[in-house]
Structure 1
Amino acid sequence: MGALRDVLVVAGGRVVLPDRIVDADVLVQDGKIAGIHERAASGTTGQGLPGTSNSRTINARGLMVMAGMIDTHVHLRDPGHPHRETFGTGTCAAAVGGITTVLEMPSGIPAVSDAKSWHYKNDVVGSKAYVDYGLYGGAGHTNTAKIAEQAAAGAVAFKSFMNAPAPGADPGFDSRALPDDATFLAAMKAIAETGRVAVVHAESDSICACLAAQMKTRGRNDLRAHAESRPPIAEEEAVARAILLAGAAVARLSIAHISTGAAVEQVRRAKARGQDVTAEACPHHLFHTLSNSEHLGPYAKVNPPLREHDDVTALWAGLADGTIDYIGTDHAPYTIEDKDKGWSDIWSAPSGVHGLESVVPALLTAVNDGCLTLPHLTRVISQRASQVFGLHTKGQLREGADADFILVDMDRPGVIDPSGQHSVSRDAAKLWAGRSTRGAVVATYVRGTLVAENGELRGQPGHGQLVRPEGHP
């Protein structure tokens, strides 16, 4: 093999792989990883690497080199609600936060419900993206016949709710609502034929609706009332039903934002039986409890709601044993004006929190606290997402993969300050405000190009590219 020309060498760092950490230099050429070369005991870096010439060097001494995060669950509000977020500001926040690929939900105006609306969304957002992105399709009771054409267009997965549309929901929510068993089963069969993953928001519609009505009748308007209207049993029942029906359809099922120990156990049992079921956890459910966040009122309102200590402990156990496969932020930004309505009436405030610039620092802090290791972390924020969603050139540090990586300083202290973040509606990101961290993203590279450094954007809009599952034409 001849010499590699115009190679970028990430030299002197410690490379985090899914099973170990190695002292190695990473070679990047044409946006791909061209090699990972372990260093000799002498520690010489960037010199004499085999087959390279005209190389440029990034000094990563003292830093960890990790695969960039694949955020499996974002709502970037574009098109439809630019006062809450745009694809540009959302992917800018992702880049600064160490996220190199985002998977965008089918919400928006118009909602993604067929091939035409999928292509329209891609046309709108593509020129704004700072990091790579995939686009979900919607699977609901009104568009089951349109599932195959969305997959053919390039939908990375399908999102469905086991709830009817809430009052005030964006138009088109029906195209991702499956509130009864018959429509759920039909959609699972249609998704199974595409080979894509069915990602499901699993809460019992009848339990939640009944309890919410009771709370309102009693005059309960507080955050805890919202949580009590969506109790753990509502998730456990829905997860069990989703597993049963998806199994009958032989569909690949993933449970979004799992939040209870009972639901984790349902997934654990399904995996033990050999069913193709995976699960996502979100940082707000891993790091916050209802009791510790109750003072934030509507700014801590999210679906499923924040839980208490026992469920948080069960989520970490599920991460530890592999029951929970990957982490997504469920970044769902709203403005202060949206959220403040909930101080007097929690039911009038929308559910959702920010997360793009908080998730990686929070998880690095958890590593420093001994909750998980760096190899484990790279599995749950990068490798497993690439495997589940068929994005095999993303989220992995190996030869031939896209050079999507972050440089991490594990010792750098910090405090999460929303005022310095990049989301349009950052002033409403109160859930994470003031949280101390140890471990920081120093730089983010997407296909070998620097897109963010030390909390500042360095990339250009349009650098981000659409990703499709492997095997897509």
Structure 2
Amino acid sequence: MGASRNALVVAGGRVVLPDRIIDADLLVQDGKIAGIREHAARGTTEPALPATPNSQTVDAHGLMVMAGMIDTHVHLRDPGHPHRETFGTGTSAAAVGGITTVLEMPSGIPAVADAKSWHYKNDVVGPKAYVDFGLYGGAGHTNTAQIAEQAAAGAIAFKSFMNAPGPGADPGFDTRALPDDTSFLAAMKAIAATGRVAVVHAESDSICGCLAALMKTRGRNDLRAHAESRPPVAEEEAVARAIRLAGAAGSRLSIAHISTGAAVEQVRRAKARGQDVTAEACPHHLFHTLSNSEHLGPYAKVNPPLRDHDDVTALWAGLADGTIDYIGTDHAPYTIEDKDKGWSDIWSAPSGVHGLESVLPALLTAVNDGQLSLPQLTRVISQRASQVFGLHSKGHLREGSDADFILVDMDRLGVIDPSGQHSVSRSAAKLWAGRATRGSVVATYVRGTLVAEDGELRGQPGHGQLVRPEGRP
């Protein structure tokens, strides 16, 4: 290969692919992967892809080289709530955490509800981005007619809730709320016409609403009361209904933050029937239960709520057999002031937890503990998200793909310490605080540029670029 203006040789590492791990060097030219050469093919440990006069060599001996994570589910609070997060702080946290692309939900003020608000959000957040990003569109009962124009603008997917807006919801929540079957079916048909995937928060509005009212009547103000107001059956009923209605509409469906074993089984059966249904798991549902987090009160409040051990076991089984396709953090930061209200009244605290800088240390630890392999991990944090959302230049270590990769030390020990994180409201990230880890992201590259190293930001705002769907595989 000839000289390049921007060439990088990542030498001596172990490259993690979706089906195997190989000893290989990686060559990057102008932000793209230009080649991978296995060491065994030449019988030497010298770099197989030699540096040119214009190239830089990165020593990856003793490290794993993996595709950067595509976080399918983030709320970076921009525009609207800079005291909780901004696109700059959120994407800097992503960079340090080993996440090279974030897919941002349509929440914010104003909510993304049509082409104009989609473009406005892109204009606001783009100059702040340290990593690449996609922007969801909103699909609710008040803006079904605007779904097509959001797709034409570049919406990566569409987000909808099967719940009506709750108390304290941001203005514009109606533009992603589908609380009745008629509006849900209409939105699914409109999304089907765009070819995008419908990402659905599946909890029964009537079950959750009635049980929450009952808990309040009984004077229940604790974290467990919140969980009991959103029981497993509320998710399971909604998932079943979403699958049936999306199938009737011919739309692609993805279940966001799946949390129960029965819901996983419904997705498994839908896949077996040949329906285009996928599912996302979140790290808080994989690593925490209600019982072991109850002492955190409002800092463990999230929707769907944390479940029990059997549901957690079912989620891991779903990851292992491919029923659950990808992992997203559902990073939804709030401040100490927001959350502390819940100590005396759980209903007054918002639902949501941090996740950008905790997800990969937790998952790498799980690999070390034997819960999954590194090839399995790269499938659920990178490859499948790329396929589902049509980001075919992302999420892969292969020639021609964007050079979005991370260097990982599988032996590095650590403890998750929110005080050193990059989120604005990191002091409220109590769910993960003090968790011991083994395995760490030591460097993050976005399109061949170093954006974070050893927990420190190295990139520049505006380096991140907007991504749009590139079509189905």
Q: After the TM superposition, which residues 196-275 of structure 1 pair with which residues of structure 2 at under 5 Å, given as runs?
A: 196-275=196-275
- Asked whether the 8 Å contact 2:257–2:279 carries over to 1, the reply is yes
Matches within 5 A, 1:60-459: 60-459=60-459
Contact 2:25 2:37 in 1 (8 A): yes
RMSD: 1.2
Q: Which residue number in structure 2 is paired with residue 44 of structure 1?
A: 45
DSSP-derived class of the 1:237 partner: helix
One-letter code aligned to 1:44? T
The alpha-carbon deviation at position 7 of structure 1 amounts to 2.2
Instruction: Give the Å deviation of 1:44.
Output: 1.9
Q: Name the CA distance, whole Å, in 1 between partners of 2:126 and 2:3.
A: 35
Shift of 1:52: 5.2
> Which whole-Å CA distance do the structure 1 matches of 2:143 and 2:109 have between them?
16
Check whether the contact 1:67–1:405 (CA below 8 A) recurs between aligned residues: yes
SS of the aligned residue for 1:121 comes to helix
AA at the equivalent of 1:383 = Q
Quote the Cα distance in structure 2 between the aligned partners of 1:187 and 1:4. 47
Deviation at 1:5, TM superposition (A): 6.5
- Work out the CA distance in 2 between the residues paired with 1:6 and 1:166: 50
Gap change, CA 1:215 and 1:305, over 3 Å in 2: same
For residues 51 and 338 of structure 2, the distance between their equivalents in structure 1, rounded to whole angstroms, comes to 57
Q: Residue 335 of structure 2 contacts residue 425 of structure 2 at CA under 8 Å; is this kept in 1?
A: yes
- Quick one: which amino acid aligns to residue 81 of structure 1? H
Contact 1:97 1:359 in 2 (8 A): yes
Unaligned stretches of 5+ residues in structure 2? none
Kept in 1: contact 2:87–2:128 (CA 8 A): yes
State the AA in 1 paired with 2:36: I
- The aligned amino acid for 2:428 is A
Kept after mapping to 1: 8 A contact 2:160/2:199: yes
Quote the offset at 1:50 in angstroms.
6.9
For the 8 Å contact 1:5–1:52, the answer to whether it is kept is: no
Q: How far is the alpha carbon of 1:6 from its aligned partner?
A: 4.7
* Cα-to-partner distance string for 1:107-135 (whole Å, 9 max, x where unaligned): 00000000000000000000000000000
Task: Give the TM-score normalised by structure 1.
Answer: 0.98
Counting matched residue pairs gives 471
Letter of the 2:65 partner, please give it: V
How far, CA to CA, are the matches of 1:215 and 1:82 in structure 2? 33
Distance 1:127 1:224, change over 3 A: same
For the 8 Å contact 1:27–1:36, the answer to whether it is kept is yes
Question: Does the 8 A contact of 2:13 with 2:23 survive in 1?
Answer: yes
Offset of residue 4 of structure 1: 5.7
Whether the 8 Å CA contact 1:404–1:445 is kept in 2: the answer is yes
Per-residue deviation, residues 298-319 of structure 1 (Å, max 9, x unmatched): 0000000000000000000000
1:152-172, Cα deviation, whole Å (9 max, x unpaired): 000000000000000110000
Q: Please say if residues 157 and 197 of structure 1, whose CA atoms lie closer than 8 Å, have aligned partners that are also in contact.
A: yes
Equivalent-residue separation in structure 2 for 1:241 and 1:139 (angstroms): 17
Shift in Å, 1:51? 9.4
CA contact (8 A) 1:2 1:51 kept: no
- The answer to whether the Cα contact below 8 Å between 2:256 and 2:280 also exists between their aligned partners in 1 is yes
Following superposition, the deviation at residue 381 of structure 1 comes to 0.1
Distance 1:53 1:262 in 2: 58
* Amino acid in structure 2 at the alignment position of 1:343: W
Q: Tell me if structure 1 keeps the 8 A contact 2:212–2:229.
A: yes
Q: For 1:82, give the aligned amino acid.
A: P
Q: Give percent identity, aligned residues only.
A: 89
Deviation at 1:404, TM superposition (A): 0.1
Distance 1:269 1:448 in 2: 40
Could you tell me how far apart the structure 1 residues matched to 2:346 and 2:117 are? 33
| Cα distance between partner residues in 2 of 1:54 and 1:140 | 51
CA distance in 1, matches of 2:241, 2:25: 48
1:18 maps to what in 2?
A: 18
| 2:237 partner amino acid | E
Contact 2:4–2:30 (8 Å) recurs in 1: no
CA distance in structure 2 between the aligned counterparts of 1:54 and 1:464, rounded to whole angstroms: 24
1:65-101 deviations in Å (ceiling 9; x for gaps):
0000000000000000000000000000000000000
Q: CA deviation at 1:49?
A: 2.8
CA distance in structure 1 between the partners assigned to 2:140 and 2:227 by the alignment: 25
* 1:237-288 alpha-carbon deviations (Å, 9 max, x no partner): 0000000000000000000000000000000000000000000000000000
Q: Is the 8 A contact 1:5 1:53 kept in 2?
A: no
For the residues of structure 1 that align with 2:269 and 2:230, how far apart are their CA atoms? 23
Shift of 1:56: 1.5
Counterpart CA distance in 2 for 1:183 and 1:415 is 46
Q: Supply the distance in 1 between the matched residues of 2:74 and 2:395 (Cα, whole angstroms).
A: 17
SS in 1 for 2:269: helix
- On the 8 A contact 2:8/2:51 being kept in 1, the answer is no
Structure 2 match to 1:465: 465
Local SS of the residue matching 1:376: helix
Bigger Cα displacement from structure 2, 74-83 vs 6-15: 6-15
1:31-65 per-position Cα deviation (integer Å, ceiling 9, x unaligned): 0000001113754232x537955331000000000
CA distance in structure 2 between the partners assigned to 1:190 and 1:160 by the alignment: 13
Structure 2: which amino acid aligns with 1:258?
I
Task: Give, in whole Å, the separation in 2 of the partners of 1:266 and 1:459.
Answer: 42
C-alpha contact 2:406 2:442 (8 A) present in aligned 1: yes
Letter of the 1:45 counterpart: E
Distance 1:457 1:227 in 2: 37
